[in-house]
Amino acid sequence: MSGTSTDFQLVGSKNIAIIAGMQRILFDPSKAPKYLESQQSIACVSHAHSDHTAAFASSIEKYATEVTLDIHQALGGQTRKSKPVKLGDKIRISEGIDLHVHTAGHMLGAAQFVVEWNDRRLVYTGDLNLSSTLITEGAKPIPCDILLIEATYGRPDAIFPPREEVYSEIIEWTSCSLKSKKIPVFQVYAKGKAQELIRILNTYLTVPVVVDSTVAKVSDVYVRHGVPLEYITADTAAGREIMRRGDYVYLSPKRFNRRLFPSDQQFVQAKATGWARIFPMKNVDKAFILSAHADFQQLLHYVEKAKPEAVFLTCGDTTTFRVVLEKLKIKMVNAGRGVKQQKRLSDFI
């Protein structure tokens, strides 16, 4: 890298911001520092999971996809000073600086952001999934000079089975449970995972899917954006009637609460998460390795295909994945913790 003022600069470590000329761009800040709010700053919000949406509460201008904004609003969040974008968009955010929006495959509306400036390209992946699902197309590696990538599963033992295999396990377990007169209850994230499960159940079974109100609100947004999902909200007359009769599947982000269900019914409980590959899941009868994130191999594949001259790990198992990348002679950007001063990316390489 040149190390001149024509180069991207990096600010902070947890709150990642880049500087291109006079423009500052924050990626999924956990909060926008005051000194950045006072500058010419914008924030890019990659998706609707709550650990990425703190910027919506700040006063700086935000870019996020329409789906991300709609999900945030549907759950009561405010999105003032937000500019809706679409996957595939290319936007000029200021003189000579372009922002491209690509799918991240992590949930509906999840985006990777590409910043181009002075013939340099920087990619921020946000949370990433390279596998296509019944709802989202898998993310593709984007060739770049600087790569800011997540590393949630940046450890060699985090290798996930093929998605189709997991789908068929889910269907088999659900069918067997219903045949033995037990109600399958899935405890899953309300944003993304729940909708994928509804789609799996709708596609391969005919059983009614009853969901709690949070899952319903997010699912309503998916439907408005063209994803065919059929579900019944538990807290409605139709939902109560189905639950009274039995023979349904129940989805909720909350822990199983026996009191919500008719007393004569029996249940089996499951989770669907990539962590099931690594840790034993407690208090459930079954755990499925269904992740919205790239596994270790996909992360490596991304870095290999993107061919960046330097990589910065934004979150996850950054320590382990860093060691792996360093063994592969890939240069790392190391802002470290608590960096307060502005630094050029090239200072860290």
Positions 115 through 134 that interact with Zn ion (CB under 5 A): 127
> Smallest distance, Å, CB 75 to Zn ion?
14
Those residues whose C-beta lies under 8 Å from the C-beta of residue 324, and which sit 6 or more positions away, are 154, 156, 300
Between 79 and 269, name the residue whose CB sits nearer to Zn ion.
79
Between 125 and 174, name the residue whose CB sits nearer to Zn ion.
125
Structure tokens at 186: 């899935």
Q: Write each residue from 298 to 337 as x if it is in contact with Zn ion (CB under 5 A), else as -, in one continuous string.
A: ----------------------------------------
Q: Give yes or no for a contact between 142 and 102, defined as CB atoms under 8 angstroms apart.
A: yes
DSSP 140: -
Total residues contacting Zn ion (rule CB under 5 A)? Answer: 2
d(CA 177, CA 67): 34
> Smallest distance, Å, CB 274 to Zn ion?
12
CA 299 to mean position of chain CA atoms: 14
Give the three-state DSSP class for 299. Answer: helix
Between 109 and 308, name the residue whose CB sits nearer to Zn ion.
109
Please list the residues that pair with 11 across neighbouring strands.
17
Q: Give yes or no for a contact between 50 and 346, defined as CB atoms under 8 angstroms apart.
A: no
> Smallest distance, Å, CB 109 to Zn ion?
11
Of 41, 46, 45, which Cα lies nearest the Cα of 56?
45
Of 46, 291, 341, which Cα lies nearest the Cα of 153?
291
> Smallest distance, Å, CB 63 to Zn ion?
17
> Smallest distance, Å, CB 127 to Zn ion?
4
> Smallest distance, Å, CB 201 to Zn ion?
22
Between 46 and 320, name the residue whose CB sits nearer to Zn ion.
46
Q: Write each residue from 72 to 111 as x if it is in contact with Zn ion (CB under 5 A), else as -, in one continuous string.
A: ----------------------------------------
Q: Write each residue from 38 to 57 as x if it is in contact with Zn ion (CB under 5 A), else as -, in one continuous string.
A: -----------x--------
Those residues whose C-beta lies under 8 Å from the C-beta of residue 81, and which sit 6 or more positions away, are 59, 60, 61, 62
Asked if residue 196 binds Zn ion (CB under 5 A), the reply is: no
- For the chain, report the end-to-end CA distance as a whole number of angstroms: 9
Between 127 and 317, name the residue whose CB sits nearer to Zn ion.
127
Q: Give yes or no for a contact between 303 and 147, defined as CB atoms under 8 angstroms apart.
A: yes
> Smallest distance, Å, CB 106 to Zn ion?
5
> Smallest distance, Å, CB 166 to Zn ion?
19
Between 127 and 196, name the residue whose CB sits nearer to Zn ion.
127
Between 141 and 192, name the residue whose CB sits nearer to Zn ion.
192
Evaluate the CA torsion angle 318, 187, 30, 138 in order and state its sign.
positive
Q: Is 28 left (phi over 0), alpha (psi -120 to 50) or beta?
A: left
Structure tokens at 202: 């709708």
Instruction: Point out which residues bind Zn ion (CB under 5 A).
Output: 49, 127
